[in-house]
A = this chain, B = another copy of it.
Amino acid sequence: MSSSSVLERFRPLFYPESIAVVGASDNPSKLGFQSLAAARSGFRGAVYPVNPGAAGEIQGLSAYRSLADVPGRLDLVVYAVPEPLVAPAVREAAARGARAGVIFAGGFREVGGKGAGRQRELVEIANAAGMQLIGPNCIGVVNTKVKLNATFAAPMSWFPAGSLSVVSQSGGVGSAVATQMADEAVGLSKFVSIGNRANVDFADMLAYLAEDDDTGVVALFVEGIDEGRGFLKAAAACAARKPVVVCSRGHTEKASRTALSHTGSAASSERVYAGALRQAGCVRVGSLEDLVCTAKAMTMAAHLGGNGCFISTHTAGPAIIIAEILERGGVRLPELEPALAAEIAAFIPEHARAGNPLDLFAHAWTDGSLYVRATDIALRQPNIHCAVAVYISSMGAGPAFPLAEYAEVARRHGKPVFLCLIAPGMAMQELAAAQQAGVVTFNTPEKAGHALVGLTRWVQGRRPAGVGA
């Protein structure tokens, strides 16, 4: 599929001119209430509540008894109705010329037997009409660029815009990922919960996101793949253009049985996944936390030039944790060149060794400029491509880390810098401020370590071996 055709194919889904919500309601206990509230909470285009029982208005908007009655162009239809009402509504939408749909209801392929038949029926209607269906059994779609919120969670409309796009088979995990993104202060581009994958699967979304200029990094949560070859081909094509991070689950017996009764796909063996994903150029991670943190590092620090890292700290313990994760993940901590080590040795505290990691003792806690001076020198070394600083605010009692100066050093050298800032209940504000300054910030050593390992793997994978090492 050509670049323009895949963008065009999904334009009605991600950039609709209008949204109709079937099942829209004034009753807050109904999914149709939440769905309409979400659809209208930020979107600037037309929003049409549709309900057979509608009389006049729903949530203050002109309401319609059927999709056939909706005036003007119809792009995206959100189906906030139970399973028996879905197929008739999809049929109406097809007749009305709608080209995209989001179906929340379960009761399809994931329940087996007749459910699978019901899903096939949807696919036939949609395919005949050239309509893209997300779901069924999903929580929908978000595009922060146009404040599209085709989910049933209105707060998603206020998600900060960014360059990370998320595709999750499970709506629940997608929601968990969004939650962790909010806590990590990482902005969102597109969010897609694809559920049962009626006629839109991972491969389709990967093809679209590869072309989408607003997407810089793609994060996937995968439970099972039906068309393994198509998926891997699309993943490889996407990963050749931008980072693709993958967390896969459902590899044990009970877990896979749950996956089967979930979005209707058999889970595959972990080793098969891991090998194939690596071959496709994707970075595989082991937890949702690592998915979000690695993707965050990729959105902020894709200009990383190689696998050499410099660590400075005022306290050895957390630096040891990071160093261990880095070394095991293939990130090197090069010794400082003698001339640079001598420059550093000239101003660091007595007893400190001008090494890497560099332990500046408590002196750096009271005088943050030590971090800045040391990092400025270390980043001159060609085989050091980034820096990590560890700073503990000791339950908020400590002086502040010299954020602006540290970020300025990064800019001057054109090399990314990371901060492991350990503070209780680190407010999004503090984290966001650090990141706005250009410092990739995490609140645990493990997050920082694993994120940098994932980023480095991607950086190493996309260039000939040896270069930049």
Question: Which one of B314, B327, B351, B353 lies within 8 Å of A255 (CB-CB)?
Answer: B327
Q: Mark A327-360, 1 if CB is under 8 A from B, else 0.
A: 1100001000000000000000011010111010
| Across-interface contacts of A171 in B (CB, < 8 A) | 315, 317
CB contact under 8 A between A106 and B362, given known A170-B316, A170-B320: yes
Question: Which one of B107, B424, B445 lies within 8 Å of A351 (CB-CB)?
Answer: B107
State the CA gap A200–B151 with chains docked (Å): 58
Beta-carbon contact of B317 and A115 below 8 Å: no
Beta-carbon contact of B318 and A173 below 8 Å: yes
Least Cβ–Cβ distance between A222 and chain B, in angstroms? 10
Beta-carbon contact of A317 and B223 below 8 Å: yes
Q: Mark A303-332, 1 if CB is under 8 A from B, else 0.
A: 000000000011111111101100110000
CB contact under 8 A between A170 and B397, given known A357-B258, A428-B425: no
| Across-interface contacts of A111 in B (CB, < 8 A) | 351
In the complex, which residue of chain B has the Cβ closest to the Cβ of A427?
B425
A221 within 8 A of B: yes
| Across-interface contacts of A182 in B (CB, < 8 A) | 395, 424-425
A176 within 8 A of B: yes
Beta-carbon contact of B313 and A254 below 8 Å: no
| Across-interface contacts of A153 in B (CB, < 8 A) | 394-395, 397-398
With an 8 Å Cβ cutoff, the count of chain A residues facing the other chain is: 90
A178 within 8 A of B: yes
Least Cβ–Cβ distance between A458 and chain B, in angstroms? 22
Beta-carbon contact of A251 and B324 below 8 Å: yes
Beta-carbon contact of A444 and B288 below 8 Å: yes
Beta-carbon contact of B254 and A327 below 8 Å: yes
State the CA gap A169–B316 with chains docked (Å): 10
CB contact under 8 A between A328 and B397, given known A357-B258, A446-B287: no
Beta-carbon contact of A154 and B397 below 8 Å: yes
Least Cβ–Cβ distance between A247 and chain B, in angstroms? 9
Beta-carbon contact of B252 and A324 below 8 Å: yes
The stretch of A44-52, A229-237, A259-267, A371-379 in contact with B is A259-267
A180 within 8 A of B: yes
CB contact under 8 A between A444 and B395, given known A258-B316, A315-B175, A362-B106: no
CB contact under 8 A between A221 and B317, given known A175-B392, A176-B422, A446-B287: yes
Q: Which of A107, A314, A390 has the most CB of B within 10 A?
A: A107
In the complex, which residue of chain B has the Cβ closest to the Cβ of A261?
B353
Beta-carbon contact of A155 and B351 below 8 Å: no
For residues 362 through 406 of chain A, which have their beta carbon under 8 Å from a beta carbon of chain B? 362, 366, 390, 392, 394-398
Least Cβ–Cβ distance between A101 and chain B, in angstroms? 18
A423 within 8 A of B: yes
| Across-interface contacts of A444 in B (CB, < 8 A) | 176, 180, 287-289
| Across-interface contacts of A254 in B (CB, < 8 A) | 323-324, 327, 333, 356-357
Beta-carbon contact of B395 and A252 below 8 Å: no
| Across-interface contacts of A179 in B (CB, < 8 A) | 392, 395, 422-424, 443
Beta-carbon contact of B445 and A288 below 8 Å: yes
A361 within 8 A of B: yes
Beta-carbon contact of A263 and B328 below 8 Å: no
Beta-carbon contact of B172 and A317 below 8 Å: yes
User: 10 more A-B contacts (CB under 8 A) besides A172-B316, A258-B323, A261-B316?
Assistant: A154-B397, A159-B395, A170-B315, A170-B316, A172-B392, A175-B422, A179-B422, A180-B444, A182-B425, A258-B316
Taking Cβ atoms with an 8 Å cutoff, the residues of A that contact B are: 29, 31, 34, 38, 104, 106-107, 110-111, 115, 139, 151-156, 159, 168-176, 178-180, 182-183, 221, 223, 249-255, 257-259, 261-263, 287-289, 313-321, 323-324, 327-328, 333, 350-351, 353, 355-357, 359, 361-362, 366, 390, 392, 394-398, 422-425, 428, 443-446
A-B CB contact pairs (8 Å), 11 listed: A155-B394, A155-B396, A171-B315, A172-B390, A172-B422, A174-B317, A250-B324, A254-B324, A255-B327, A263-B316, A289-B446
